[in-house]
């Protein structure tokens, strides 16, 4: 299994950790970024999925 990654919103800096998911925002723990729905938006600022960048933590 490939390591899970973390993605950061380039607009506001909110972090999405694939291992933790975002259960309060409809993403179960372990949900990979490619499996996040295309219409999902940042829970902090509303930016689209395309505003996120993979980051090293």
**E-strand spans in 10-56?**
15-17, 52-55
Higher pLDDT, 43 or 57: 43
Domain assignment present for residue 21? The answer is yes
How sure is the predictor about 44, in pLDDT bands with cuts at 50, 70 and 90? very high
Determine what percent of the chain is predicted with pLDDT higher than 90.
91
**50 annotated binding-site participant:** no
**3 annotated binding-site participant:** no
**42 annotated binding-site participant:** yes
**Residue-averaged pLDDT of the chain:** 95
Domain assignment present for residue 40? The answer is yes
> Distance (Å, rounded) from C-alpha 53 to C-alpha 16?
10
Which domain CATH number covers 13?
2.20.28.10
> Distance (Å, rounded) from C-alpha 3 to C-alpha 45?
27
Domain assignment present for residue 1? The answer is no
Domain count, the chain: 1
For the segment 9-23, what is each residue's pLDDT rounded down to a tens digit?
999 999 999 999 999
Domain boundaries, position 45:
6-55
């Amino acid at each position: 299994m490939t390591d899970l990654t973390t993605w950061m919103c380039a607009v506001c800096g909110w972090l999405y950790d694939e291992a933790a998911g975002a259960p309060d925002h409809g993403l179960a723990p372990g949900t990979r970024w490619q499996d996040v729905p295309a219409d999902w938006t940042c829970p902090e600022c509303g930016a689209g999925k395309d505003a996120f960048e993979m980051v090293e933590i």
